[in-house]
Amino acid sequence: MTPPASAPVHAPSSPVAVVTGASSGIGAATARRLATEGFHVVAAARRIDRLEKLAAEIGATAFQLDVTDEASVAALAEAVPECAVLVNNAGGAFGLDPVAEADLEQWQRMFDVNVLGSVRMTKALLPAMVRYGRGHVVNITSIAGHLVYEGGGGYTAAKHAQHAMSETLRLELNGQPVRITEIAPGMVKTEEFSLVRFGGDAERAEATYRGVDAPLVAEDIADCVAFAVTRPAHVDIDLMVIKPIAQAAPHKVHRSGS
């Protein structure tokens, strides 16, 4: 169940890690992995039914969260008085329109979830990290935050902005006990990312990975998160870029038969 704002998350023997977008894909894999690393995970997302199953499986706290809603974010922050790790994973890509034909509602949604969602969560939980005595913000971005490709204008713009936010935050928090890590995956095959991007068109979603020998999976990214947050307190992993060996760039992917 979602704890009310007046009921703080109690994990006296374990550091608390908040993972957004934890109902599926990279978020769910990260929640599972951090639980094995000794964190008490607050698994946060909109779909509470999925979160409750995950929480029961790994001994986590499920919290219904919409990162685009200020009141929802504030309720989570009030329930987490001390926080060791925040994984800003909630995000998504919507559509593949060229810039000249941009669907501005989709662009706005991508900015609100990917960029402003990360800002809202970071702003809300930074005090809890400082109270804990050390903290770690992990932003899950994308290679689209460092490179561009045709048809990806809205998503690449949002992820570039999220990258810039991560870099700026590291400068502004210099001297504070908070680390900032950006993890930028390439092609990761999950059950929902491409399906959402193509508006539920399963055939187009599956074509994204067709002929690709071993795209990344969610657990590969969860491994990277776990590595970064378990380094000694003086070590900050600024940026990790992870791609499958078949992918040289967003627009250059080796496919069997090609």
Residues designated catalytic: 155
Instruction: Identify the H or E element spanning 128.
Output: helix 117-132
Q: Which of 255, 243, 144 is nearest to 208 (CA)?
A: 255
For 150, the token pair is 């045709």
Rounded Cα–Cα distance for residues 45 and 209 (Å): 26
Rounded Cα–Cα distance for residues 76 and 18 (Å): 9
- Alpha carbon of 81 to those of 57, 74, 77, 188, 257: distances in Å? 24, 12, 7, 33, 54
Q: Confirm if 58 and 29 have CB atoms less than 8 A apart.
A: no
